[in-house]
Amino acid sequence: MPDTAFSVNSPQKLASAVVFASPHSGTDYSDSFLAQSILGRKTIRSSEDAFVDQLFQAVPEFGAPLLTAVKPRAYLDLNRSPDELDPAVIDGVQRRGQNPRVASGLGVIPRVVANGRAIYRGKLTLAEAEERISCYWHPYHQALKGLLEQAHRRFGQAILVDCHSMPHEAIDTMAPIGSGKPEVVLGDRFGAAADSSVVDRIEAAFAAAGLKVARNTPFAGAYIAQTYGRPSRRQHAVQIEIDRALYMDEVNIRPNGNFEPLQKLLRQVTAEIAAIGQEEIPLAAE
């Protein structure tokens, strides 16, 4: 087992039913992994949600935990089911049905990074894929499940805020909403993963900070929102996608001049979202 498969930044006192998580901001690109890849260090980071964990580093100040990944998305995608194995990159895997994520190279062990660039020269062994899942996928999800169960026991509800970033090009072709194109996209799987009262409050927190918000287009939420969003049981999951152009140089993967102002802005947004977890949310209708 690795020394650590995830990191939890816990509050001094748990005061909110909200759990924040950043599954795609891991930066542990080991030498052995880089040696397997045909990509340079910068290119292989192109699908990483770079610096998202830092944008939300103030979370524990408001009584909520922040769970972050250690390994990068190019190594293992924590927002996929562990059985989304790609036969095109893992030797010995049988092709089973049509899964669009796997077909596009974005299974639990990704075959490509952004813009369809292949990661590996050849195939990985099934044993290596299973080791990655055992050492990193399962511990992360066990930790996430534990944090949500803890919140539910303490507060009678749990709200997962799954934090991501999106390439600017993902929204560049979208039609404007109101005064412009969205800067934040909230994904609740079209209402299946969270009660509308929760999503309304999260949207209001971002809007009050002056950010333009859309829902479910182009990102509605994937495995994590689908798995942990159970509003009828008072467990809600909302995926947050933030436009990378707001805070980073996407080509060079480094913070831009707006990073600290956005980080400060998100501190207030975080405080308002954490406050939602201090209130009673009605049980969703069956």
Q: pLDDT per residue over 187-206, tens digit each?
A: 999 999 999 999 999 999 99
Residue 235 maps to a domain: yes
Q: Are strands 158-166 and 18-22 parallel, antiparallel or unpaired?
A: parallel
As beta bridge partners, residue 159 has: 18, 236
Residue 239 maps to a domain: yes
Q: Are the C-beta atoms of residues 158 and 276 closer than 8 Å to each other?
A: no
What is the domain extent for residue 237?
6-74+131-276
Tell whether the model's pLDDT for residue 184 goes beyond 80.
yes
Model confidence at 3, in pLDDT bands (50, 70, 90)?
A: low
Model confidence at 1, in pLDDT bands (50, 70, 90)?
A: very low
Report d(CA 225, CA 78) in Å as an integer.
Answer: 12
Residue 165 maps to a domain: yes
Q: Are the C-beta atoms of residues 28 and 169 closer than 8 Å to each other?
A: no
- Tell me the pLDDT of the chain averaged across its residues: 93
Residue 107 maps to a domain: no
Separation of CA 194 from chain center: 16
Q: Are the C-beta atoms of residues 105 and 88 closer than 8 Å to each other?
A: yes
Residue 172 maps to a domain: yes
Exposure of 83 in the CB half-sphere (CA atoms within 13 A):
5
Q: Counting beta carbons within 10 angstroms of the beta carbon of residue 41, is it exposed (0 to 12), middle (13 to 18) or buried (19 or more)?
A: exposed
Counting the structural domains of the chain, the total is: 1
Q: What angle do CA 277, 183, 137 make, to 5 degrees?
A: 60
Token pair 């944090």: residue: 147
Q: What is the DSSP string of 137-176?
A: IHHHHHHHHHHHHHHHHHHS-EEEEEEEEE-THHHHTSPP
Residue 136 DSSP one-character state: I
Residue 93 maps to a domain: no
- Give the CATH number for residue 58: 3.40.630.40
Report d(CA 91, CA 80) in Å as an integer.
Answer: 19
Identify the H or E element spanning 33.
helix 31-36
The arithmetic mean of pLDDT across residues 11-21, rounded, is 97
Residue 65 maps to a domain: yes
The arithmetic mean of pLDDT across residues 108-115, rounded, is 95
Q: pLDDT per residue over 196-234, tens digit each?
A: 999 999 999 999 999 999 999 999 999 999 999 999 999
Lowest average pLDDT, out of 87-91, 198-202, 232-236, 278-282, goes to 278-282
Residue 68 maps to a domain: yes
Tell whether the model's pLDDT for residue 285 goes beyond 50.
no
Model confidence at 99, in pLDDT bands (50, 70, 90)?
A: confident
Q: pLDDT per residue over 256-275, tens digit each?
A: 999 999 999 999 999 999 99
Q: What is the DSSP string of 254-277?
A: EE-TTHHHHHHHHHHHHHHHHHHT
